[in-house]
C-alpha cells in the first residue's frame, strides 16, 4: 500500500527582484522622508496618497495588446479593464488632477511618497519594487515652477545630509533635444509620429551615457549593442553623421551656463522648437541665480534627457558627485538619485485640454544607499524597554508597568515568550536593543519596589571593566514602584 505523499511545503524565499525591509531599514527611511517632507511643506506643497493600482489606460505609458499589456508593468485583466500596479507616482497624479480638477486649487502643488513596481529584469541593486518621493506642480506653465522644483530638490538633498559640493542638480530641455533630432533628420514637425520608434531608442541611449560611455551610446544610436552577458539591444539605426549630431548635443556643456546655452543655440539654429528650449533654459538659469542657486549646486547639462517618454520641456537630474568603491574595488561616482521634468501633455490625455505640469522624483532606496556610503546611516535603533516576567500569574501587573511607561511616551513591551529561563529574557532584551530591563519578582512586589537594569551601562561595564567612571554608576538599581517611570527616564536621558 503506497504512502500518502506529504503536501509540498512552500519555499520561504523572497520573489526575484523583491526584498524585505526590517525595522532599522524602515526607521531610517521614515526619518529621511520626514526631513524631505519638511522641505516640501515649507515650499507650500501638500501631501497626496493615491492607490497602488491604476487602470493601464490611465497609466498611459504601457497599453494592453491582444492578450496582455506590454512588458514593463505588473498587470492583470479584471472584467473589461486591464489593471496594473503603478510604475511611478506621476501618472497617478495626472489622473487625480483630471478627476478632481474642479475641487483642487490651480496650480496644485503636491508631494507623494510610496512604493512603485516595474516588471523589468532584476539585477544587482535593481529591484522590481522600490520607493519614490515626488513633488509636482500642476497648472503652471511658468519656468518659475521648474526653477522652484530644482531649488527645492537641492534643499532636500542638503536637509538629509548631502553636503554642498557632494551633489549637483543638472538641467536640460527636451525641446532642445527635439531640435537636435530635427537637425539630425529623425523628427518631422509636420508628422510627430514619424520616426517615433527611433527617437525612443535615442532617448534611452542618451540616458545611459554615464553608464555606457560615448562608445556604448554610439552603438545604440547605430545598429545596436551587445552587453557583457551577451544580450543584444537593437539600436536606432542612425547613420554615423546622424549619431555625430546627437553626440555633439550631449557634449555641448561648456565652462559656464551662458557658454553652454550658446553652444546649444548654434546646434539648433535651424529648429524653432529647439530655440524655444534654449530660451527656457536661460529663463530657469536666471531665476535660480536670483535666488542664490549657482553652479555649485545647479548647472545646465545637455547630457540629461530622462528615459520616460512623457517629458515635454525642462528635465533635471540630481547626481551625487562623491566617490565610492564598486564591487570590484574600483573608485566611481555614486551617480543619480533623483530626476524629473515638465510633462505638459500628461493630464491632457484625460481632459483634452492643455494642463502644464512639472515635478521631480527622488529614488528613496538610492538616496538611502548614498547616505549609508557617506556614513550617515546605520546607527543602531534603540529598542523598547523590556518588562521581564518573573511570576506567570502576575502578567497583569507586568502589562500595567508597560502601559504606564507607554503613557509617559516611553517605548515598552512585556516579554511574551517562555519566562521559565530568566537568562533567555535578558538575551531577548539584548537582541531587541533594549536600553532597560524591568524586573519584579515576588519579593520586590511584596516590598513595593522594582529593579531597573540599565542594559547599555551594563554592556559598557562588561566591555570596559577598568573604566571607573562607569563602575561608579550602578547598572541595576532598586526603586519604589511609583518611581518606575522617572527611573527609566533618567537612564534614557543619559543614553
Q: How confident is the model at residue 471 (pLDDT cuts 50, 70, 90)?
A: very low
Mean pLDDT of 326-354: 85
pLDDT value of position 124: 75
Q: What is the pTM of this model?
A: 0.81
Q: How confident is the model at residue 428 (pLDDT cuts 50, 70, 90)?
A: very high
Q: How confident is the model at residue 70 (pLDDT cuts 50, 70, 90)?
A: low
Res 67 pLDDT > 60: no
Quote the Cα angle for 59-359-73, to 5°.
Answer: 25
- How far is 419 from 339, CA to CA, in rounded Å? 53
* pLDDT per position as a tens digit, 73-130: 898 988 888 899 999 999 999 999 999 999 999 999 999 999 999 988 887 778 899 9
* pLDDT per position as a tens digit, 139-196: 999 999 999 999 999 999 999 999 999 999 999 999 998 898 898 888 888 888 888 8
pLDDT value of position 86: 94
Question: 479: part of which helix (H) or strand (E)?
Answer: strand 476-480
What stretches of 23-157 adopt beta strand conformation (E)?
Answer: 46-47, 53-55, 75-78, 81-85, 108-117, 129-138
Mean pLDDT of 457-472: 56
Sign of the four-CA dihedral 98, 101, 105, 111? negative
Share above pLDDT 70 across residues of the chain, in percent, rounded to a whole number: 91
pLDDT value of position 168: 96
Cβ atoms of 306 and 317 closer than 8 Å? yes
Q: Tell me which of 32-41, 61-70, 170-179, 232-241 is least confident.
A: 61-70
Q: How confident is the model at residue 454 (pLDDT cuts 50, 70, 90)?
A: very high
Cβ atoms of 171 and 282 closer than 8 Å? no
Mean pLDDT of 333-362: 91
* Between 45 and 24, residue with greater pLDDT: 45
pLDDT value of position 3: 67
Q: Strand, helix or coil at 145?
A: helix
The one-character DSSP state at 31 is H
pLDDT value of position 169: 97
Mean pLDDT of 54-64: 73
Q: Strand, helix or coil at 214?
A: helix
Mean pLDDT of 395-416: 96
Mean pLDDT of 26-35: 94
Backbone angles phi, psi at 49, to 5 degrees: -120, 130
- How far is 69 from 83, CA to CA, in rounded Å? 9
Cβ atoms of 326 and 177 closer than 8 Å? no
Cβ atoms of 451 and 444 closer than 8 Å? yes
Res 390 pLDDT > 90: yes
pLDDT value of position 327: 67
Res 62 pLDDT > 50: no
Q: How confident is the model at residue 412 (pLDDT cuts 50, 70, 90)?
A: very high
* pLDDT per position as a tens digit, 429-440: 999 999 999 999
Res 416 pLDDT > 70: yes
Radius of gyration of the chain (CA): 29
Res 467 pLDDT > 70: no
* Between 223 and 450, residue with greater pLDDT: 450
Question: 452: part of which helix (H) or strand (E)?
Answer: strand 449-454
Cβ atoms of 476 and 388 closer than 8 Å? no
Q: How confident is the model at residue 326 (pLDDT cuts 50, 70, 90)?
A: low
Q: Which domains does the chain have, with CATH numbers?
A: 23-50+86-373 (3.30.930.10), 385-494 (3.40.50.800)
pLDDT value of position 63: 37
- How far is 194 from 214, CA to CA, in rounded Å? 26
The torsion of the CA quartet 118, 121, 126, 130, rounded to 10 degrees, works out to 20
Tell me the average pLDDT of the chain. Answer: 88
Res 260 pLDDT > 50: yes
CA-to-CA dists, residue 374 to 38, 214, 334, 371, angstroms: 22, 29, 10, 5
- How far is 155 from 171, CA to CA, in rounded Å? 16
Amino acid at each position: 500500500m503506497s504512502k500518502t505523499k506529504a503536501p509540498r511545503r512552500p519555499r520561504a524565499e523572497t520573489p526575484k527582484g523583491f526584498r524585505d525591509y526590517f525595522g532599522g531599514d524602515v526607521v531610517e527611511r521614515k526619518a529621511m522622508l520626514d526631513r524631505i517632507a519638511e522641505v516640501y511643506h515649507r515650499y507650500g506643497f501638500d501631501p497626496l496618497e493615491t492607490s497602488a493600482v491604476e487602470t493601464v489606460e490611465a497609466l498611459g505609458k504601457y497599453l494592453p495588446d491582444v492578450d496582455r499589456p506590454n512588458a514593463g508593468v505588473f498587470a492583470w485583466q479584471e472584467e473589461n479593464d486591464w489593471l496594473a500596479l503603478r510604475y511611478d507616482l506621476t501618472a497617478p497624479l495626472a489622473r487625480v488632477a483630471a478627476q478632481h480638477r474642479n475641487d483642487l486649487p490651480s496650480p496644485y502643488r503636491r508631494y507623494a511618497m510610496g512604493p512603485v513596481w516595474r516588471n523589468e529584469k532584476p539585477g544587482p541593486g535593481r529591484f522590481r519594487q522600490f520607493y519614490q518621493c515626488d513633488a509636482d506642480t500642476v497648472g503652471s506653465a511658468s519656468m518659475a515652477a521648474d526653477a522652484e522644483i530644482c531649488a527645492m530638490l537641492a534643499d532636500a538633498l542638503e536637509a538629509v545630509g548631502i553636503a554642498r559640493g557632494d551633489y549637483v542638480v543638472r538641467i536640460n530641455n527636451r525641446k532642445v533635444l527635439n531640435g537636435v533630432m530635427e537637425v539630425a533628420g529623425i523628427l518631422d514637425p509636420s508628422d510627430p509620429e514619424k520616426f517615433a520608434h527611433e527617437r525612443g531608442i535615442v532617448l534611452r541611449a542618451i540616458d545611459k551615457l554615464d553608464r555606457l560611455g560615448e562608445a556604448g551610446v554610439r552603438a545604440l544610436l547605430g545598429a545596436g549593442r551587445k552587453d557583457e552577458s551577451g544580450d543584444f539591444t537593437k539600436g536606432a539605426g542612425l547613420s554615423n553623421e546622424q549619431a555625430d549630431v546627437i553626440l555633439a548635443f550631449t557634449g555641448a556643456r561648456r565652462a559656464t551656463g551662458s557658454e553652454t546655452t550658446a553652444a546649444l543655440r548654434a546646434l539648433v539654429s535651424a529648429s524653432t522648437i529647439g530655440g524655444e528650449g534654449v530660451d527656457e533654459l536661460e529663463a530657469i538659469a536666471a531665476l535660480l541665480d536670483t535666488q542664490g542657486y549657482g553652479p555649485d549646486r545647479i548647472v545646465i547639462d545637455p547630457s540629461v534627457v530622462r528615459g520616460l517618454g512623457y517629458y515635454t520641456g525642462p528635465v533635471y537630474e540630481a547626481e551625487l558627485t562623491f566617490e565610492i568603491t564598486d564591487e570590484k574595488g574600483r573608485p566611481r561616482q555614486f551617480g543619480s538619485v533623483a530626476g524629473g521634468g515638465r510633462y505638459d501633455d500628461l493630464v491632457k490625455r484625460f481632459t483634452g485640454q492643455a494642463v502644464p505640469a512639472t515635478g521631480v522624483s527622488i529614488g528613496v532606496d538610492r538616496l538611502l544607499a548614498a547616505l549609508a556610503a557617506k556614513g550617515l546611516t546605520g546607527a543602531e535603533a534603540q529598542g523598547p524597554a523590556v518588562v521581564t516576567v518573573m511570576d506567570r500569574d502576575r502578567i497583569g501587573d507586568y502589562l500595567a508597568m508597560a502601559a504606564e511607561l507607554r503613557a509617559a511616551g516611553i517605548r515598552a513591551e512585556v516579554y511574551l515568550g517562555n519566562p521559565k529561563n530568566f537568562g533567555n529574557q535578558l538575551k531577548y532584551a539584548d537582541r531587541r536593543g533594549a536600553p532597560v530591563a524591568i524586573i519584579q519578582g515576588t519579593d520586590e512586589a511584596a516590598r513595593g519596589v522594582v529593579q531597573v537594569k540599565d542594559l547599555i551601562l551594563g554592556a559598557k561595564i562588561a566591555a570596559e571593566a577598568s573604566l571607573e567612571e562607569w563602575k561608579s554608576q550602578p547598572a541595576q538599581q532598586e526603586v519604589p514602584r511609583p518611581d518606575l517611570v522617572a527611573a527609566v527616564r533618567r537612564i534614557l536621558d543619559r543614553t
